[in-house]
Amino acid sequence: MAIQRTLCALALAAGPLLAAAAPAAAQAEVKVGLIAPMSGPWARQGDLMLKGANLAIDDINKAGGIKALGGAKLKLIIFDAGDSVEKAKNAAQRMVAQEPDLIGATGSWLSSFTLGVTEVTERAELPILTLSYSDQITARGFKFVFQTSPTGGSQANSTLPAIMKMAENATGKRPQTVGIIMDNTAAPMSFAKPMREGGIEKLGMKLVVDETFTPPLSDATPLIQKVRSSRPDFLLLLPTSIPDDKLCLEKMHEFGLGRGRVPVVSNGAHIAAPDMLKNLGKDLLEGVMTIVANWGSKGQEAIMKDFIAKTGEPWITQDSLSTYGDMLIFKEALEKAGTADRRKVAEAIRAMDTTDGPAKYFPGGRVKFDENGRRVGADVVVVQWQNGVPVTIYPPASATAQPIWPKQ
């Protein structure tokens, strides 16, 4: 008995040492958040973001998960940002309170929502990736916010000359006048600001219509009447929801301004969403262009085909392609960090500089963030409705079709 007691005592004493020496158990799962509008007027965009993120997570998990964490699987946790900034902030507060082990998040689609959400995630030191456009998102000195898209101001400065060139190539003359119709959410405000502050004048054009409304739009008649009266060489149509796009485009056709009589250039992926085709038909959309931060392009045929096959969607949009890439950024960061600690993950994202892996799914082909959290070399994409399909027409290296400037 004395010997047995001695052996037991030795085993008990050695227990902690043996446990410390044993390899750590593999982590079963790692949680990533998606905070996006799943209800309200922007719910369709939230659904597309969800489809892209789910596809990426399935691909990552089927390929063995996070190898640095023993094959841990990624798990997506979804939070509805709703239809207002207040609801989006409340969702962000629930997200950080209810899921303290999240390693990061992606969202929030609408820039106004993202500005509110990131105030919450920054305090929680939770890294968040966003495709939202507003310059202010990454102009506040935050350390845990990473913007994969070019900012609205950058888009305006780099894309307007490209639109001018397309017009000149098609018609033999440069546009002289332009109109703006936009809502007052953060992304179009950021996009239009440099144009209003000298950008249009610098290009030798005159702003002949300048109208801003608060969404949702109940009647587009007063806005489009001003377009009919001034007949700009092209119209920058900058709402942020499909219902408002639909009202404006329908009214343009009613007033005899559609089908290229006044060429339309938008900003954002909503106007190139499949729902627009269902609601308006290809004839009313033909020639409409939009400036986006991401779209299915040359070299991405495999993911485009896979997305269509697995989701039933007719094409992959900016919303889905970007969240697909975001999940790969988090995977890359987790592999580098070797831990599911959100602060270490954020450090890995800050140190990231790759032209492989996630970089394949972002224009410019590089994932590196500057000290403000903006992706270095982020390029814009111009998409145009052609024969019922929105196709990439710019930049030339990514284009899947030639641009067509609608004839006036």
> What pLDDT, on a 0 to 100 scale, did the predictor assign at position 10?
40
Full DSSP string of 183-247? ESSHHHHHHHHHIIIIIHHHTT-EEEEEEEEPSSPS--HHHHHHHHHH--SEEEEE-SSHHHHHH
Q: Please check the confidence at residue 165 and state whether its pLDDT lies above 70.
A: yes
Q: Please check the confidence at residue 180 and state whether its pLDDT lies above 50.
A: yes
> What pLDDT, on a 0 to 100 scale, did the predictor assign at position 1?
44
CB 381 within 8 A of CB 154: no
Residues ≥6 apart with Cβ < 8 Å to 275: 44, 242
What is the token pair recorded at 287? Answer: 């020639």
CA angle 368, 160, 325 (to 5 degrees): 30
> What pLDDT, on a 0 to 100 scale, did the predictor assign at position 213?
97
**Residue 343 DSSP label:** H
Give me the mean pLDDT over the 292-307 stretch: 94
What is the token pair recorded at 153? Answer: 């101001």
Condensed to tens digits (0 to 9), the pLDDT of residues 256-288 reads 998 878 999 998 888 999 989 998 899 889 999
Q: Please check the confidence at residue 332 and state whether its pLDDT lies above 50.
A: yes
Residues ≥6 apart with Cβ < 8 Å to 152: 111, 133, 134, 135, 187, 188, 189, 190, 191, 193, 267
> What pLDDT, on a 0 to 100 scale, did the predictor assign at position 159?
77
- CA 31, distance to chain mean position in Å, is 20
User: Average per-residue pLDDT in the chain?
Assistant: 91
Condensed to tens digits (0 to 9), the pLDDT of residues 95-153 reads 999 999 999 999 999 999 999 999 999 999 999 999 999 999 999 999 999 999 999 88
pTM assigned to the model? 0.85
Condensed to tens digits (0 to 9), the pLDDT of residues 9-44 reads 444 444 444 333 333 445 799 999 999 999 998 999
Question: Between the CA of residue 383 and those of 183, 253, 292, 317, what are the distances in Å?
Answer: 21, 21, 7, 10
Residue 389: CB atoms within 10 A of its CB come to 17
> What pLDDT, on a 0 to 100 scale, did the predictor assign at position 268?
87
Q: Which pairs with CB-CB distance under 8 Å and at least 24 residues apart come from 123-129?
A: 124/96, 125/342, 125/343, 125/346, 126/33, 126/96, 126/102, 126/342, 127/103, 127/333, 127/342, 127/345, 127/346, 127/349, 128/104, 129/104, 129/105, 129/326, 129/329, 129/330, 129/349
How far apart, in whole angstroms, are the C-alpha atoms of residue 307 and residue 345? 27
Looking at residue 348, its amino acid is A
How far apart, in whole angstroms, are the C-alpha atoms of residue 215 and residue 394? 29
Question: Between the CA of residue 258 and those of 248, 263, 275, 283, 401, what are the distances in Å?
Answer: 10, 8, 19, 9, 22
Condensed to tens digits (0 to 9), the pLDDT of residues 199-255 reads 999 999 999 999 999 999 999 999 999 999 999 999 999 998 889 999 999 999 999
Q: Give the three-state DSSP class for 34.
A: strand
> What pLDDT, on a 0 to 100 scale, did the predictor assign at position 97?
98
Model confidence band, residue 407 (pLDDT cutoffs 50, 70, 90): low
> What pLDDT, on a 0 to 100 scale, did the predictor assign at position 405?
83
Question: Between the CA of residue 74 and those of 32, 58, 86, 136, 325, what are the distances in Å?
Answer: 7, 9, 29, 30, 14
> What pLDDT, on a 0 to 100 scale, did the predictor assign at position 20?
36
- Complete domains list, the chain, with CATH: 29-150+298-368 (3.40.50.2300), 153-292+381-394 (3.40.50.2300)
> What pLDDT, on a 0 to 100 scale, did the predictor assign at position 167?
87
Give me the mean pLDDT over the 346-359 stretch: 97
Distance linking the first and last C-alpha atoms of the chain: 102
